[in-house]
Chain A
Amino acid sequence: MKIVVTIKQTFTTEAKIAVDGGAISDKGIKQIVNPYDEFAVEQAIKIKESGGAEEVVVLTIGPERAGEALRQCLAMGADAAFRVWDDSLAAPGAWDVYATVLAGALEKMKPWELLLAGWVAVDDNAAIVVQRAAETLGIPQVLVVNKLDVGDGKVTAVREMDGYREVVEAPLPALVTADKALNTPRYPTLPNIMKAKRKPLTVWTLEDIGVTAGSAGFTRTGLALPPAKTGAKIVEGEPEEAAVALADLLHTEAKVI
């Protein structure tokens, strides 16, 4: 069995974000593998280690620097990596275009049985690209999974819902997206970092995967930081008095009731 994991390079969640000229400034920003994608990579490697798969391949869409994110996945234990890029893809937020490209690359990488990814990328919180690609490919998808078993041509996945737990089965090939309870991603050891240097990393153009990206179905018209938090007010005192004071403030000051 072959597992494909799609990943995205994002900025660290700790990064101090600044907007510069309509884009997020990369000044002083460290780029990492999207943390949810790390869970997917870890799961793929675990499946391979337990004999459930022969090969783990990682795929990303991104400029040259995204190659470093792929190298990290190779150092964690993936066998090969693919990066698709075309300068026309640099437009922000073109999720539908990315989904088309991803589907094209996944088509070219066939045969594979399992497609894994993080359930969302921490930068744009869209949770849409790989899901749309799976739809294009016509495969079932099980999203935001906390536990995963693979065998007998199917996946059995556990999804934590609000107050209950759902167990889902789907035939392979299928897409499964990872939530954070799925596992604890390993950090690459130094010998594996050095080995990753010699693993294959292929770069594809749109021509290589036979895809015409087309134009996005929508355009981003603005990008702004959330307004600075204004000072919160803590209402003190005994619960009964505080409740009265709070209601009063909501009425007279915040004017919401």
Chain B
Amino acid sequence: MATVTTNRGAGFLLGRLDVEQQMTPEKLTAEQRMLRDTVRKFVDAEILPRMDELETLDIGLARELLQKTGELGLCMIDVPEEYEGLGLDFVSSIQGSEILSLGGGFLTAFSVQTGIGLMPMLYFGSDELKRKFLPGMASVELVSAYALTEAGSGSDALGAKTTADLSEDGESWVLNGTKQFITNGGFADVFTVFAQVDGRQFTAFLVERDTPGFTVGPEEHKLGIKSSSTTSLSFEDCRIPKGNIIGEVGQGGKIAVNVLNLGRLKLGISAIGSAKEALEVSVRYALERKQFGRAIAEFGMIREKIAEMASRIYAGESSMLRTSGNVQEAMHAGDEAGGASANSAMRTALREFNVECALEKVHGSEVQAYCVDEAIQIHGGYGFIEEYKVARTYRDARISRIYEGTNEINRMQIAGDVLKRAGKGALDMDAALSEAPGSEISDQFGALCDIAEQVDRTRAVARGIIKMIVEQSGGEGAKRGGDQELLQRLADIIIAIYALESAMGRAVQARRAGDTNADEFEAMTRVYAAGVAPGVRRNARETVALLTADGADEAAASEIAALAEPPAVNAIALRRVVAEAIIEREGRWFDC
């Protein structure tokens, strides 16, 4: 099984990871680490002390703090220097997204400002529009928002009803319709609004707040992220300049999908940041809280939760950095191309990694969900009391599995896109199952050769299933797109492969570099591997059961089932080792 190059989306399904080129948190530059420190100091000094005010939705304060992130330069990272940004690398731009997660709902405002609020303009706007608006968006003199969702179209985003028609004199676009659940709505200055031209050509526009005919609705009362502004928007014969179109007529769907890709990756990263906080708070509590005369951190069930939280965070963090490094490399290639082709190469880079971005969103938000849930459980009754910070962390986490595409939609994208690529021959699955998983694994994986073999086997399971589906649908992988249950199971297997391989690759690199955390990285990789194996087995068996009932080859099916059998490991002992390490450092194990 050949090693793959990184600049191919979904390439991890074709062959083994080239460990050395995998980006890891340990490879951050001195500047990136300093940036993390700056953001952390900002959170501690400016956001956390004012959390109560922010939670009552003090819009003036939210705007003021968002503008302070602008002064720190956090919103100009992705903006090129010619538009008064810093034009830095993508890995730098994710640092703020992770650490601001400690600020709860404030993160949401920031994420829109630097993510979906900015990117349509950045990657698709005309030079004229960019000169007019990008410098302000980068410095946060202009707060931005992204208006896609409507009452009747959430996941089905392209089914939006808002319309845009060219005025009779041909000088303006006239917008009519209503948008819903728009983050930053209460105080944004510029809005990227999606509307149908001629009733069917989905298109993006830039609308300024003070435009006549444009009104902002009241604030929604939400379950969590209460410090973020969420409103409806309405357009009644709202007239905007003809030049305020972003991209071209009919390009809206492409814009919406592409910018959501990076938004999803950043959301996954933020979710891991929030999970780290949940772990740290929980371990500290468990060390203080005494029951039966002992700190509850001494009890096996609590320790097992701590080990599981840490290992999932470790795997999530490893995979986020791997994807970010790959996206950065592809973007850099785009930069090299220069000029107009740079933008198109950039857009290609965004599209190329849509499988990875979607899986980071799903995995990150589910690691977060697990961690904030166990954080409450470790706190017991106190976790249910608002006075303790975990209650807010728990409420704030719930939206992660819903926005930027529900995890259901994202799972459809992961599996659907892989099947589409395989159907077109872009992902060659023919070699699937022909090579024995685990063959020719040398010392490249150090002490983790058995994990490398488990990754191989799981990859062979996914490839086998993909091949079966493609064959069954006559080469058109997308045809089984209607089988959502099948796509969900395939997506989960794919996520397990990617996250486990990333965890492993990071541990292998740490060992080679003599990193003092290498022992713990290896232990957490093993815990994570033990944790995902039963799910892979169940998903594989249920999938091939459906496929064979529909006529797939039974011999191939039983081969897949055999490959999906979990390796025998002493998972309890592994978790004890990890728990000990995390508790030893009082939960401050991951940098955040």
| Interface residues of B, count at CB 8 A | 26
Q: Which of A14, A26, A190, A197 contacts B72 (CB 8 A)?
A: A190
CA distance A57 to B73 in the complex (A): 25
B38/A190 in contact, CB under 8 A: yes
B516/A26 in contact, CB under 8 A: yes
A193/B34 in contact, CB under 8 A: yes
A16/B34 in contact, CB under 8 A: no
Asked if A8 lies at the interface with its beta carbon under 8 angstroms from chain B, I say: no
CA distance A27 to B520 in the complex (A): 11
In the complex formed, the residue of A with least CB distance to B587 is: A16
Residues of A within 8 Å of B71, CB to CB, are 189
Residues of A within 8 Å of B77, CB to CB, are 190
- Contacts A16-B584, A194-B31 given; does A27 touch B516 at CB 8 Å: yes
Question: Contact flags (1/0) for B581-592 with A, using CB distance below 8 Å?
Answer: 000111011010
A28/B585 in contact, CB under 8 A: yes
CA distance A71 to B76 in the complex (A): 21
Asked if A68 lies at the interface with its beta carbon under 8 angstroms from chain B, I say: yes
27 A-B pairs in the complex with CB atoms less than 8 angstroms apart? A14-B588, A16-B584, A16-B585, A26-B516, A27-B516, A27-B517, A28-B517, A28-B589, A68-B33, A68-B34, A71-B30, A71-B31, A72-B34, A72-B37, A75-B34, A187-B37, A187-B72, A188-B34, A188-B38, A190-B35, A190-B38, A190-B72, A190-B77, A193-B31, A193-B34, A193-B38, A194-B88
In the complex formed, the residue of A with least CB distance to B46 is: A187
In the complex formed, the residue of A with least CB distance to B44 is: A187
Q: Which of A16, A187, A190, A197 contacts B41 (CB 8 A)?
A: A187
Distance of A72 from chain B, by nearest CB (Å): 6
Asked if A30 lies at the interface with its beta carbon under 8 angstroms from chain B, I say: yes
Residues of B within 8 Å of A30, CB to CB, are 591
Asked if A191 lies at the interface with its beta carbon under 8 angstroms from chain B, I say: yes
In the complex formed, the residue of B with least CB distance to A25 is: B516
Residues of A within 8 Å of B47, CB to CB, are none
| Interface residues of A, count at CB 8 A | 19
Question: Contact flags (1/0) for B459-501 with A, using CB distance below 8 Å?
Answer: 0000000000000000000000000000000000000000000
Q: Report which B residues bind A (CB closer than 8 A).
A: 30-31, 33-35, 37-38, 41-42, 45, 71-74, 76-77, 86, 88, 516-517, 584-586, 588-589, 591
| Max chain A Cβ within 10 angstroms of own Cβ: one of B30, B33, B86, B517 | B30
Residues of B within 8 Å of A72, CB to CB, are 34, 37
Distance of A12 from chain B, by nearest CB (Å): 9
In the complex formed, the residue of A with least CB distance to B516 is: A27
In the A-B complex, the 3 residue pairs with the closest CB atoms: A190-B73, A187-B41, A27-B516
- Contacts A16-B586, A191-B86 given; does A197 touch B34 at CB 8 Å: no
Other A-B pairs, 19, CB within 8 Å; known A187-B72, A190-B86, A191-B76: A16-B584, A28-B517, A30-B591, A68-B30, A68-B33, A71-B31, A72-B34, A72-B37, A189-B38, A189-B71, A189-B72, A189-B73, A190-B74, A191-B73, A193-B31, A193-B34, A193-B38, A194-B86, A194-B88
